[in-house]
Amino acid sequence: MCTPFRSLDLHVRAIVAAETPVENIVVQQAAQIAELRAAVEEMQKERAELRAAGVVDDFLNSLDQKGKEVSDAARVPAATSRPPKRSSAMKAPVYKLFGKLPADFDGRPSVERLIERRVSARLKKHYGEADRLQRRLLRMGVKLDDRRKTWSLRPGWEAMQASLSEEDQQSWRQQQLLQSDLEMRIKKLFLLFDEDGNGLIDCDEFRITMDILAIPGSREEHDKLFDEWDADGSGGINLKEIRQALIAAHKDGGDEVPLLKYLDDFA
SS3 257: coil
Residues of the chain whose pLDDT is less than 70?
1-26, 49-92, 249-267
CA distance 210 to 225: 11
CA distance 219 to 204: 11
pLDDT of residue 194: 79
For the domain 172-266, what is the CATH superfamily, name and number? EF-hand (1.10.238.10)
pLDDT of residue 57: 58
Contact (Cβ atoms closer than 8 angstroms) between residue 160 and residue 111 = no
Indicate the pTM of the whole model: 0.43
pLDDT of residue 89: 46
SS3 212: helix
pLDDT of residue 245: 78
Helix (H) or strand (E) holding 37: helix 22-52
pLDDT of residue 136: 92
Domain locations along the chain: 1-52, 88-155, 172-266
